[in-house]
């Protein structure tokens, strides 16, 4: 840490912060901002969101008695300033590294993180639960939720506000409105908030005045002019939130501590029975010119040069799977006007921004609303359209009931493009795509595919265009392909047919997805020991290539499945097939290699797969152990 800091060097916890005078808090905020920029420049991570809430973070910890008062952040990617001020300053340069600080809030990391979050829109629900627990326990602790304008567009946030408004339970919700989530916010809520900011909707001042009037000291009034004029400019709108039962205050300048502090204090001390909404306007990327100017306000960055803002790239020329998907879909959409794209607030992350540039009227960003997005796609499918729903694996989990009820049961041809499958590195367990193979392949009427490389991905997209009687899914990892030449969009696969990569005698390795390269290396290690392996790229989790799998099982002593997914997926389906056909009675030794039954913490992907036991040396060792057991049994029998 920079020892030139005037105040930050002496602040380890919020209790230290509260010893400062209000006049020193802006200098402290500037120091926190500098420390955060320096840390993220060395680790990479989420930058813009945290820069935008520095003053808000300082004000919240100054006014509220954290951790006794519970401060709950939505998503958590804006909490780097919070971490700096809550006992984690010395570890801030370990963000998102192995054994380092999480990039999100995490209960096991600090008592100042009362609720863990890395997905959006959970803060109001969890805060209401904590507030109700306080009531039941006769506690008077404050509970504060901070939610962004993007996150508040999600259905879960509306459900929580509806419940909170009717509960008459005191809690404080800070609506951090920075006009950005990861991408530009969409939908009617965005329009509504914009109207609040331009004063086109007005909230009755009478009740609001009761909450904020005592905040106006002489210095405060002098800055704002007449109190009445200030209220007309800074306390506007709120009819929607008011109708939901919230005591609405705002919008107010989230970077002006002389505004924030008295209003937060009054909210803290208010005897109002029910939820309070404080609408705070902030600027994503605030205080770092390169972030302020960037179109995404430096939402997520790699390591970068602080002086120039230049991000350090990995230098590879390999195409990312995401881009391969997007470019391939565009080619098909040029031929087929029924193809439409859907994403949930992640156009850039899923490649749908590329599709949108070419076909703006056929691209739908539904906002942070995965449930709606899936059922919306189902509606399109009933009318003969070919919806491609591009959502990260971990976010598709949020819409599982819709996948079952609205798509699978009706056998509608919605095509799910599942990005970030498998272990994803620095974002850790919350963003890992560990479960999609299992939760989709258990459903009737589904085709589930997993390419082993970028060329196979193109073929699977080509194949999916013609699937018109049932839903399908293609899952692939974050990152780049292996450098293969891409096939034309004419090359398609036969549904449910795998491919033999190499032929051997003793061992059959069934691989699904991008662990195939590790399986090839494992097979080479085994060959050096005189063991010759068959390798099959299964391609399809569902339907299985039953003929090929059964043939392989009958011709080999050992069969092993390898997948970058949880227990209950591909390996379980293969085992069930073998059991039904009595293969185990004939002496086949079968093992499945999956992600272990634990949540794997953040690290670089290679180390995470080492932890999972799914790298080449671990695959070959598993096979050698099985063969050693077989030989030991033969010796005993003889």
Q: Which residues are catalytic?
A: 284, 370, 398
Give which of 191, 182, 183, 193 is closest to 75, Cα–Cα. Answer: 182
> What SS3 state is found at 560?
strand
CB 531 within 8 A of CB 506: yes
Name the DSSP letter for residue 213.
G
What is the residue whose two structure tokens read 């999972």? Answer: 612
Give which of 633, 340, 609 is closest to 478, Cα–Cα. Answer: 609
Q: What is the DSSP string of 42-67?
A: HH-EE-HHHHHTHHHHHHHHHHS-TT
Question: Secondary structure of 361-374 in the HEC alphabet?
Answer: HHEEECCCCHHHHH
Structure tokens at 9: 């060097």
Q: Helices then strands (H, E): number in the chain?
A: 27, 19
Give the angle 388-389-393 at the CA atoms, nearest 5°.
Answer: 135
Residue 160: is it exposed, middle or buried by C-beta count within 10 angstroms (0-12/13-18/19+)? buried
Q: What residues pair up with 277 in beta bridges, in sequence order? A: 173, 248
Gap between the Cα atoms of 403 and 514, Å rounded: 25
CB 173 within 8 A of CB 127: yes
Torsion of CA 42, 514, 522, 582, to 10 degrees: 140
Structure tokens at 86: 């809550």
CB 446 within 8 A of CB 538: no
Gap between the Cα atoms of 350 and 285, Å rounded: 23
Radius of gyration of the chain (CA): 27
| HSE value, Cβ hemisphere, 13 Å, CA-based, for 342 | 26
Name the DSSP letter for residue 308.
T
Gap between the Cα atoms of 15 and 23, Å rounded: 17
Gap between the Cα atoms of 234 and 228, Å rounded: 10
What is the residue whose two structure tokens read 């109708």? Answer: 243
Question: Secondary structure of 234-302 in the HEC alphabet?
Answer: HCCCCHHHHHCCCEEEEEEECCCHHHHHHHHHHHHHCCCCCEEEEEEECCCCCCCHHHHHCCCCCCEEC
Gap between the Cα atoms of 634 and 517, Å rounded: 32
> What SS3 state is found at 523?
helix
Gap between the Cα atoms of 147 and 275, Å rounded: 14
Residues in the chain: 638
Q: What is the DSSP string of 609-622?
A: HHHHT-SHHHHHHH
Gap between the Cα atoms of 341 and 376, Å rounded: 11
Gap between the Cα atoms of 84 and 563, Å rounded: 39
Give which of 394, 399, 448 is closest to 425, Cα–Cα. Answer: 394
CB 547 within 8 A of CB 597: no
């Amino acid at each position: 840490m920079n020892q030139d800091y005037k105040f930050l060097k002496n602040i380890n916890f919020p209790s230290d912060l509260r010893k400062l005078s209000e006049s020193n808090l802006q200098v402290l905020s500037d120091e926190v901002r500098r420390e955060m920029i320096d840390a993220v420049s060395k680790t990479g991570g989420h930058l813009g969101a945290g820069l935008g809430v520095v003053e808000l973070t300082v004000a919240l910890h100054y006014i509220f008695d954290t951790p006794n008062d519970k401060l709950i952040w939505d998503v958590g990617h804006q909490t780097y300033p919070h971490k700096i001020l809550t006992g984690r300053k010395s570890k801030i340069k370990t963000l998102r590294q192995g054994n380092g600080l999480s990039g999100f809030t995490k209960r096991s990391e600090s008592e100042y993180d009362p609720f863990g979050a890395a997905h959006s829109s959970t803060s109001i629900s969890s805060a209401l639960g904590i507030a109700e627990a306080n009531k039941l326990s006769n506690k008077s602790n404050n509970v504060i939720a901070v939610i962004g304008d993007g996150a508040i567009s999600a259905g879960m946030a509306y459900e929580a506000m509806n419940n909170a408004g009717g509960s008459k339970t005191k809690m404080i919700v800070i609506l951090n409105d920075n006009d950005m989530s990861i991408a530009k916010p969409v939908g009617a809520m965005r329009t509504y908030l914009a109207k609040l900011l331009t004063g086109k909707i007005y909230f009755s001042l009478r009740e609001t005045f009761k909450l904020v009037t005592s905040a106006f000291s002489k210095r405060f009034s002098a800055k704002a002019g007449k109190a009445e004029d200030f209220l007309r400019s800074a306390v506007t709108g709120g009819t929607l939130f008011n109708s939901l039962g919230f005591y609405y205050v705002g919008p107010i300048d989230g970077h002006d501590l002389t505004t924030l502090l008295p209003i937060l204090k009054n909210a803290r001390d208010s005897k109002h029975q029910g939820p309070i909404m404080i609408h705070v306007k902030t600027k994503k990327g605030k205080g770092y010119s390169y972030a302020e100017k960037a179109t995404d306000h430096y939402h997520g960055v790699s390591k970068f040069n602080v002086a120039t803002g230049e991000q350090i790239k990995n230098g590879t020329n390999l195409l990312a799977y995401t881009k391969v998907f997007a470019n391939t879909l565009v080619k098909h959409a040029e031929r087929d006007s029924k193809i439409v794209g859907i994403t949930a607030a992640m156009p850039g992350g899923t490649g749908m921004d590329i599709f949108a540039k070419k076909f703006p009227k056929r691209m739908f960003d539904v906002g942070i609303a995965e449930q709606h997005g899936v059922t919306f796609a189902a509606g399109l499918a009933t009318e003969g359209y070919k919806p491609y729903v591009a959502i990260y694996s971990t976010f598709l989990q949020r819409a599982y009931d819709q996948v079952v009820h609205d798509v699978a049961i009706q056998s509608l041809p919605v095509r799910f493009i599942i990005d970030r499958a498998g272990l994803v590195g620095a974002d850790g367990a919350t963003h890992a795509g560990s479960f999609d193979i299992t939760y989709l392949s258990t459903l009737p009427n589904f085709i589930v595919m997993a390419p082993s490389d970028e060329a196979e991905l193109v073929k699977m997209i080509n194949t999916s265009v013609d699937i018109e009687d049932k839903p399908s899914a293609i899952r692939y990892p974050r990152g780049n392909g292996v450098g293969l030449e891409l096939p034309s969009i004419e090359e398609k696969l036969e549904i449910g047919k795998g491919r033999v990569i190499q032929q051997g005698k003793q061992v059959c390795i069934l691989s699904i997805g991008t662990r195939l390269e590790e399986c090839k290396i494992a097979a080479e290690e085994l060959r050096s020991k005189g063991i010759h392996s068959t390798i099959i790229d299964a391609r399809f989790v569902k339907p299985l290539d039953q003929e090929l799998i059964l043939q392989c099982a009958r011709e080999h002593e050992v069969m092993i499945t390898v997948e970058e997914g949880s227990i209950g997926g591909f390996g379980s389906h293969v085992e069930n097939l073998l059991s039904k056909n009595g293969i185990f009675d004939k002496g086949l030794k079968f093992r499945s290699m999956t992600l272990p039954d634990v949540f794997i913490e953040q690290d670089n992907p290679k180390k995470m797969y080492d932890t999972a036991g799914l790298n080449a040396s671990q695959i070959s060792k598993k096979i050698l152990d099985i063969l050693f057991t077989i030989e030991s049994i033969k010796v005993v029998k003889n």
